[in-house]
Amino acid sequence: MRYQDLLPKHKRPIVIIGAGSIVNDAHLPAYKIASFEVVGIFDINNERAKMIAGKFRIPIVYESLEQLVEQAPTNAVFDMALPASEIISSLKKLPEGSPVLIQKPMGNNFSEAKEILQIVKSKKLLAAINFQLRYAPYILTARDIINTGLIGELCDIEINVNIYHPFHLWDFLFKSERVEILYHSIHYIDLVRSFFGNPHGVYAKTVKHKSMPALASVRSSIIMNYGEWLRAIILTNHCHDFNQKYQHAYIKFEGTKGAVRINMGLLMDYPKGTKDVVEFISNEGNSKPEWQNLEVEGTWFTEAFIGSMSQVMKAASGEIELPDNSVEDCIYTMACVEAAYESSDKGGTKLPV
């Protein structure tokens, strides 16, 4: 499957709430590729909104969220690219029954996630969370390989990130009580869920680093428990600031007959990034199997963002019943995140003495 295959048959106009770096770097470039029409934008920083509007030829810069809601086309999709702390208050202002794509995470914690879900239900919103890694072209490719049986039965997902990440690009993170899992590894937790479903439980430890003392946590070890036959592990270290020789960022899907490995170029020298590398190997019918490189069109930033918005448009037009990334599904990603933090706080099993 290609990312183009995710496009809706009937496109809808988009109004954007928020003009931060993620909108500039990913949302709007993706919508341009997909030929989605963005008709207006609002941000509390009006000058920032005007700058973004000029760059991407957005015709209207709204002066307030209330004006945006009042003047938005009746068939518009609301693209809510806001910090987690602003989601609840903004959702309450949207028209009943509106389609909306909410930037991850789904609130600061599971309590807020449940409140968001309740607001969505009470206002009959068609809402999805922008867990766009699910729709990255290399993930679509991996899913195709897995679904065709080339690597046998999927039994192991490993995500390992050892990089230097420029957290200073996001000022709000320095005020957050939760950082690494809530804003980064949440993508990987959601990705694992999209393949294996909900786990039985989560083991985790997330920690700070002395080179980034102002941030709550920047390194995590997460095990998602799927019983005796499946393994899902997420290891992240965002503080490896010793040039790129031993930096890496990969996802490995391993089956009973082969494997797929994805090097995520985006995370290397972020936000500039390097080239993705997608490889697979299969023992099926091969006495001497070798790894094969695959050319994949598009990447996480920006084409994956086409997929998450397309899901909302498809559901709004009746092509599908609910977005794949609906709040009804993504509430369980937030439950896994909460379980990870609870596990980290408990500190593991004490030594027998």
Domains for the chain: give ranges and CATH numbers. 3-132+303-326 (3.40.50.720), 134-294 (3.30.360.10)
pLDDT tens, position by position, 174-184: 999 999 999 99
Which pLDDT score, from 0 to 100, does residue 286 have?
81
Distance (Å, rounded) from C-alpha 303 to C-alpha 176? 28
pLDDT tens, position by position, 156-202: 999 999 999 999 888 889 999 999 999 999 999 999 999 999 999 99
pTM of this prediction exceeds 0.95: yes
State the burial class of residue 67 (Cβ atoms within 10 Å of its Cβ: 0-12, 13-18, 19+): middle
> Would you say residue 284 has pLDDT above 90?
no
What radius of gyration do the chain's Cα atoms show? 20
Which pLDDT score, from 0 to 100, does residue 158 have?
98
Distance (Å, rounded) from C-alpha 152 to C-alpha 249? 24
> Would you say residue 2 has pLDDT above 90?
no
Distance (Å, rounded) from C-alpha 242 to C-alpha 45? 36
> Would you say residue 12 has pLDDT above 90?
yes
